[in-house]
Structure 1
Amino acid sequence: MGDALTLDPHSANEGPTSTLLHHIYETLVTRANDGSLEPGLATEWSIHPDDPSVWVFKLREGVKFHDGADFTAEDVVFSMERVRKESSDFKGLHSAVVGAEVVDNYTVHIKMSGPSPLYVQNLTNFFIMDKGWAEANGVETPQDFKAGEEKYTVRNTNGTGPYTLVSRDPEVRTVLALNPNHWAQPPQVTEIIYTPIKEAATRVAALLSGEVDFVQDVPVQDISRLEQTAGVKVTTGPENRSIFFAYDMGSDTLKSVSTGDNPFKKAEVREAFALALDRDAIMKVVMRGQSQPSGVAMPPFVNGWTEALHAYGDPDYDKAKGLLAEAGYPDGFSVDFHCPNDRYLNDEAICQAYVGMLGRIGVKANLVSQSRTIHFPAIQNREVDFYLLGWGVPTFDSAYVFDFLVHSQEDARGGWNGSRYNNPEVDAMIKSLATETDLEKRNATIAAIWDKVQADRVLLAVHNQLLAYAVKDGISLDVHPENQPKMTTVTFD
């Protein structure tokens, strides 16, 4: 389980980072375990009766930031301006926002570029900051994480959440204490000691020895053993996250390819890579049955998912070799293959398995295994040719996948499009989703985009993750579909 990359609430759109920040900062709306939206710092939200392009938010009164400052509409407007700035990794969620304005202390209007009936779904990871605190500390702009920028917000916080930051030692230990002035009923957990433990065996040993009470990502190879261990309880469930491979299919040449050109620009090569992938073998051998193989890079939680997109074929190595020869690579080629080793369940082992599969068609994939702290910036800085990535969908809608992974890099969109995919027709369809009010027409556009993405082999889906949490007996915590367990929901038997 990895540590938060930063404590800046608008800097890194990444799972473990958001998980920690949800305990310190709060959002206007929250996502329940069943996927429904619940009130957070906003108690009500609606579309303006006289202007369908305006969302109206009624804010919770009597809320205070950790330093004692009052929470008001000004903080929401400031946070909206901040999260849309260039260095924010969340700006793609607000690409249709024109601006926000204070109506009164507890009412905010958010103006969209057109009617956006689903925009509220984008707000579950929109953390609200104190305007005065940010200005006093010179942090009006988010940290640029991919550039390695250091800011006051990286190690200091001031949210409205149920816990306050006591100490922070990155990659070692972060301590949170109960916020005695929080507006909600106090949770049963009064202190959180967040301890990142990279090695799977060490994580499990820490639970069995009593060093920790809860392990978030139980290694698949240990689930069965822990289920039979006295004093330990294991809870499992599906995660709203897809694991996939991607490659630079836009550049004319690649840095690490032996051929001097870019094989991934050729449809035959992308098809060959798809035919070399044995998803069932990865599920059975690498994941010990704890994954859901899929032919599309979106989990079933997401609007736009269909059984037809989910379906996938068997590997065909002979056909794949024939396609490589047809593309001009009868002897294959070599390419660097970048993979994280501390983010997803068995991420490095998945990559190792695919290296072997590619070897069967003459492709030598040179595995570059590294920490996510290096891997993610390398993707966003367009420094890798071929890589593994996982993607959760907190909005439960395909537009989130398209905005970040498929749309060309332009303004707020395309921030994680390491494929360099650039299709103006697809871009136009993606943009239309933000303000399309006819849901039937919108869903038809989503289907058309997926058809094109699948046909072009932009994202090579492997599987959807399944999760397992392990806790000491006497503790109850349900699996969260976003894999963002909240200690406020823990109960003691």
Structure 2
Amino acid sequence: MIKRVILATMLASGIAMTLLGAPALHAETVRWARSVDASTLDPHALNNGPNHNLLHQVYEPLIIRTADGKLQPTLAASWQRTKDPTVWEFQLRKGVKFHDGSVFTADDAVFSLQRAKSPNSDMKSVLASITEVTKVSPFVIRIKTAGPDSLLPDNLINIQMLSAAWAKAHGVEQPQVASVKEETYATRHVNGTGPYTLVSREQDVRTVLKLFPQYWGRGQFPLEIDELVYLPIKSPSTRVAALLSGEVDFVQDLPIQDTVRLRADPRLRVNQAAENRVIFLGMNVGNAPLKYSDVKERNPLADRRVREAFQLAIDRNAIKTAVMRGLSVPTNIIAPPFVHGYDKAFDVVGKPDLTRAKALLAQAGYPNGFSITLHCTNDRYLNDEAICQATAGFLGRIGVKTNVVSRPLAIQTAAINNLDTDFYLYGWGVPTYDSAYIFDYLVHTRGKNSRGATNATRFSDPDVDAKIVSLAAEGDQKTRDATIKSIWTTVQKELIYLPLHDQIQTYAMVRKLDIPVNPSNTPYFKLFKLAK
């Protein structure tokens, strides 16, 4: 009877044939379930967690950051600053092959970095300080920056290396334009140097990867998992049912409500840790009237008093207790504590004050409130839709009628990239562990100096922009830290974003696995050993 219920649920989600129709898999296969698929296989098209999560298995950057927060050589064997403090030299790893058998060289590294800096790339903001990439020899490159950018190695950890010859042969010298859903050869095909090769891919259904026989890391990493079956399963209950029935081995996006009962199951292992990610609300603070509001003649969110009223209406501790069941850390800054520049003084979570919030709305000219649409993901962050519903309830107490529109991450991301939202839920991780990454993407004026790619708030301040740009060129740490604090002071004062909480991430898996929660929420399967 239980099996029949699980089968019916899977049929409803469109994955029954994928899971239950498959023959039993051998011990070295790991069936890996997530709530959402990567939206493209082009590694430079979009900068988001689900894409990096899958692509790190098949592509590789010069450097990665492991679960302990340290940088680890990958396709770069070593790196150092030259006598010129604006130039870094990278010694590339020799003997590395792409999945088509061709050899990785400096030509591929130069091409990949230039491709990732191109206007179509969603990775360009993180590389904005780079002015030139040159080949010194077949296995040495140099990267010149606008100033002595000490964070350059940190900025490279999600910049995957492509074969220049393969890209040219297939007409993908430029990244896919994801904002208009462009289809290119790189959208559904890969040719990386990573430990796994692509066997098959059905978007939003099933992706199969197999261990690459000529992987350079043989003998250096365990490589005990020889096949990965990646299964996007949107329904939380179906993901858990698949784990309990033995149809999947590892659930990365574990529903909060199932944590306790899965911990009690002796067949399973549950790992938990803080994720390097803040969940927040973004607001259109520009001067033009809102698209998704009943206020047509002006933008209420452009008035700081309205933004402060929203801030005072939201009860972050209630979200932690009632929505997140304790698995969140309320915050007042869009920087996780992992991040350089995080300041406890900015992270004071105040108590809701509905009386003052209503008074602020009245002062701004909205004594009876107004209506607005809150765009929300329903497949990306822990209890994301429930967070939005709770937010709507809080705002309703001060007279703001909030219509929650829930949708998949791909649609939400496209809306943010196309400035087609006024009020939205989003999350942000900081792979560089430095505030500049947040400023480059979320605070800087959109489109200027190759920065601001994910800033949908319409916030623009030339003085703040200049300070953000200076961070990549400032060699004096005290001066740089003072600039970071100054930028945060403006961000906090202007209430550009409404931070909600830091996520606590939970993984559940069969006992043969022991996969720790990486702060970046990216498991590197080449590193994991199977229990004997």
Q: Which residue of 1 aligns with 2:366?
A: 329
Q: Which residue of 2 aligns with 1:8?
A: 42
| CA apart distance, 1:488 | 1.2
Q: Please tell me whether residue 428 in structure 1 is matched to residue 462 in structure 2.
A: no
Over the matched positions of the two proteins, sequence identity in percent amounts to 50
CA distance in 1, matches of 2:360, 2:301: 12
Q: Which residue of 1 aligns with 2:26?
A: none
Alignment of 1:253-332 (within 5 A): 253-260=289-296, 261-332=298-369
SS at match of 1:103: strand
Correspondence for 2:262 among 226, 239, 243: 226
Q: Counterpart amino acid of 2:282?
A: A
Q: Which residue of 1 aligns with 2:30?
A: none
| CA apart distance, 1:46 | 0.6
CA distance in 1, matches of 2:291, 2:56: 39
Q: Please tell me whether residue 38 in structure 1 is matched to residue 72 in structure 2.
A: yes
Correspondence for 1:342 among 379, 385, 393: 379
SS at match of 1:375: helix
SS at match of 2:341: coil
Q: Residues 406-454 of structure 1, C-alpha deviation per residue, up to 9 Å, x if partnerless?
A: 0001141011111010011111110100111111111111111001100
Q: Counterpart amino acid of 1:159?
A: G
Alignment of 1:29-108 (within 5 A): 29-49=63-83, 51-108=84-141
Q: Residues 306-356 of structure 1, C-alpha deviation per residue, up to 9 Å, x if partnerless?
A: 211121100011110110000000000001110010111111000000000
Q: Please tell me whether residue 178 in structure 1 is matched to residue 211 in structure 2.
A: yes
Q: Counterpart amino acid of 1:356?
A: G
Alignment of 1:396-407 (within 5 A): 396-407=433-444
CA distance in 1, matches of 2:512, 2:383: 29
SS at match of 2:450: coil
Correspondence for 2:406 among 369, 372, 395: 369
Q: Which residue of 2 aligns with 1:417?
A: 455
Q: Residues 208-258 of structure 1, C-alpha deviation per residue, up to 9 Å, x if partnerless?
A: 000000000111111111101120110000000000001100132111221
| Structure 1: tracts of 5 or more residues without a match | none
CA distance in 1, matches of 2:321, 2:171: 51
Q: Which residue of 2 aligns with 1:136?
A: 169
CA distance in 2, matches of 1:255, 1:480: 38
Q: Which residue of 2 aligns with 1:447?
A: 485
SS at match of 1:159: coil
| CA apart distance, 1:12 | 0.8
SS at match of 2:153: helix
CA distance in 2, matches of 1:277, 1:300: 22
| CA apart distance, 1:294 | 0.4
Task: Verify the 8 A CA contact 2:61 2:74 in the aligned structure 1.
Answer: yes
Q: Please tell me whether residue 20 in structure 1 is matched to residue 50 in structure 2.
A: no
Q: Residues 88-111 of structure 1, C-alpha deviation per residue, up to 9 Å, x if partnerless?
A: 010001101111010001100011
CA distance in 2, matches of 1:34, 1:307: 22
CA distance in 2, matches of 1:84, 1:474: 41
Q: Counterpart amino acid of 1:218?
A: L
User: In angstroms, what is the RMSD of aligned CA positions?
Assistant: 0.8
Correspondence for 2:275 among 208, 231, 239: 239
Q: Counterpart amino acid of 1:16?
A: P
Q: Which residue of 2 aligns with 1:358?
A: 395
Q: Please tell me whether residue 467 in structure 1 is matched to residue 505 in structure 2.
A: yes
| CA apart distance, 1:463 | 0.2
CA distance in 1, matches of 2:485, 2:449: 24
Q: Counterpart amino acid of 1:269?
A: V
Q: Which moved more, 1:214-223 or 1:253-262?
A: 253-262
CA distance in 1, matches of 2:308, 2:524: 41
Task: Verify the 8 A CA contact 1:165 1:176 in the aligned structure 2.
Answer: yes
Task: Verify the 8 A CA contact 1:477 1:489 in the aligned structure 2.
Answer: no
CA distance in 2, matches of 1:487, 1:37: 17
Task: Verify the 8 A CA contact 2:147 2:475 in the aligned structure 1.
Answer: no
| CA apart distance, 1:489 | 2.1
CA distance in 2, matches of 1:34, 1:447: 26
Q: Which residue of 2 aligns with 1:147?
A: 180
Q: Which residue of 2 aligns with 1:480?
A: 518
TM-score under structure 2 length normalisation: 0.92
| CA apart distance, 1:373 | 1.2
Task: Verify the 8 A CA contact 2:333 2:492 in the aligned structure 1.
Answer: yes
Task: Verify the 8 A CA contact 2:309 2:358 in the aligned structure 1.
Answer: yes
SS at match of 1:492: coil
CA distance in 1, matches of 2:324, 2:450: 35
TM-score under structure 1 length normalisation: 0.99
| Structure 2: tracts of 5 or more residues without a match | 1-34
Q: Counterpart amino acid of 2:127?
A: H
SS at match of 1:69: coil
| CA apart distance, 1:474 | 2.2
Q: Residues 374-397 of structure 1, C-alpha deviation per residue, up to 9 Å, x if partnerless?
A: 111001100101000100000000
| CA apart distance, 1:369 | 0.6
CA distance in 1, matches of 2:409, 2:445: 23
Q: Which residue of 2 aligns with 1:120?
A: 153
CA distance in 2, matches of 1:121, 1:142: 22
SS at match of 2:91: strand
CA distance in 2, matches of 1:445, 1:8: 35
SS at match of 1:257: coil
Alignment of 1:183-194 (within 5 A): 183-185=216-218, 187-194=223-230
Task: Verify the 8 A CA contact 2:392 2:401 in the aligned structure 1.
Answer: yes
Task: Verify the 8 A CA contact 2:121 2:175 in the aligned structure 1.
Answer: yes
Task: Verify the 8 A CA contact 2:253 2:507 in the aligned structure 1.
Answer: yes
